[in-house]
């Protein structure tokens, strides 16, 4: 018990003594990552009533005229409420501190370090069970949104995935648009270390200038790629690292009270991306 207690105390000391420096040039993504790495707690950053874009700088999303600016040194022994107030005062942005898997907001009178040590409710699902849940639920949610998907059982592929050091590529492909020339454009979600997206014409025909022009710039989640007309993946909030099992989203999958809401948000992000793509295809006259 002495060794375990020493380890717990060591973690407490690390979170309490940690500090980060925050300025308006930082991006939302960088702030959230540094905050998580330093204190163990999650940080929600808002622009209005919605989450702020990950690639936006803090200065670009501020609101209000009486903003001090400058640099804020945040330490683990700072109370959550005071930190949130200082971020509003100095940078004109709203932030909320949450527990490690980002499923519950921290109490305003606890320290940031204490928020990073809050217990997270998990169950004993294995890595294979978590990934099976992901693929089963994702397919169900996308089918419910009207996508023509023939549901697959990936349990064998997932078993092999964790036995091998090589990536096992598997996933679902479905049509999202039919061009005026009767060609189907497909959207693929498949597993590498993380799950990713690919867009191309059916029949594995990837390269097409008009299709690439319609995809380029539609969303920061998708870029052009030598093997795909469009290639990308989820925002950091919905990232799932199935190899290392260490991304924020993995914590939400492990939590039986948050996994359903997390998957709904993930499917909504994919659906919103596809709708933007389809709108662009129509504008380009595909």
Same-domain check for residues 77 and 163: no
Residue 64 lies inside a defined structural domain of this protein? yes
Residue 106 lies inside a defined structural domain of this protein? yes
> Beta partners for 20?
74
Q: What is the mean pLDDT of the chain?
A: 88
Residue 122 lies inside a defined structural domain of this protein? no
How many CB atoms are located within 10 Å of the residue 200 CB?
A: 23
Rounded to an integer, what distance in angstroms lies between the CA atom of residue 43 and that of residue 98?
6
Report the chain's C-alpha Rg in angstroms. 21
Residue 43 scores a pLDDT above 90:
yes
Same-domain check for residues 260 and 224: yes
Residue 277, φ and ψ in degrees, nearest 5: -65, -45
Among the three residues 91, 116, 141, which one is the final residue of a domain in this structure? 116
Residue 110 lies inside a defined structural domain of this protein? yes
Are residues 46 and 52 in contact, defined by beta-carbon separation less than 8 angstroms?
A: yes
Domain that holds residue 85: 2-116
- pLDDT score at 227: 84
- pLDDT score at 100: 85
Same-domain check for residues 162 and 207: yes
Same-domain check for residues 256 and 208: yes
- pLDDT score at 10: 47
Q: What total number of domains does the chain contain? A: 2
From the list 119, 121, 138, 105, the residue with the least C-alpha distance to 242 is 138
Same-domain check for residues 131 and 268: yes
pLDDT digits 0-9 by tens, 226-276: 888 999 999 988 999 998 888 889 988 998 888 999 999 999 999 999 999
Rounded to an integer, what distance in angstroms lies between the CA atom of residue 193 and that of residue 168?
9
């Amino acid at each position: 018990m002495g060794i375990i207690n020493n380890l717990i105390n060591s973690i407490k000391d690390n979170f309490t003594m940690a500090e980060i420096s925050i300025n308006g040039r930082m991006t939302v993504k960088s702030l959230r990552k540094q905050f998580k790495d330093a204190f163990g707690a999650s940080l929600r950053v808002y622009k209005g009533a919605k989450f702020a874009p990950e690639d936006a700088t803090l200065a670009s999303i501020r609101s209000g005229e009486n903003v001090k600016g400058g640099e804020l040194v945040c330490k683990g022994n700072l109370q959550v409420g005071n930190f949130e107030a200082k971020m509003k005062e100095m940078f004109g942005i709203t932030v909320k501190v949450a527990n490690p898997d980002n499923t519950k907001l921290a109490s305003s009178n606890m320290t940031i370090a204490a928020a990073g040590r809050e217990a997270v409710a998990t169950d004993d699902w294995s890595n294979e069970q978590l990934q099976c849940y992901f693929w089963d639920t994702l397919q169900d949610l996308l089918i419910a949104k009207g996508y023509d998907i023939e549901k697959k059982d990936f349990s064998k592929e997932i078993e092999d995935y964790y036995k091998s050091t090589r990536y096992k590529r598997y996933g679902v492909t479905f049509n999202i648009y039919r061009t005026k020339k009767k060609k189907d454009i497909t959207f693929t979600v498949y597993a590498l270390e993380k799950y990713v997206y690919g867009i191309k014409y059916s029949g594995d025909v990837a390269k097409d200038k008009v299709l690439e022009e319609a995809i380029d710039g539609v969303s920061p989640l998708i870029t052009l790629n030598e093997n795909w007309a469009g290639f990308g993946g989820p925002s950091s909030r919905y990232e799932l690292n199935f190899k290392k099992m260490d991304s924020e989203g993995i914590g939400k999958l492990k939590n039986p009270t948050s996994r359903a809401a997390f998957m709904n948000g993930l499917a909504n992000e994919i659906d919103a991306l596809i709708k933007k793509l389809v709108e662009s295809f129509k504008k380009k006259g595909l």
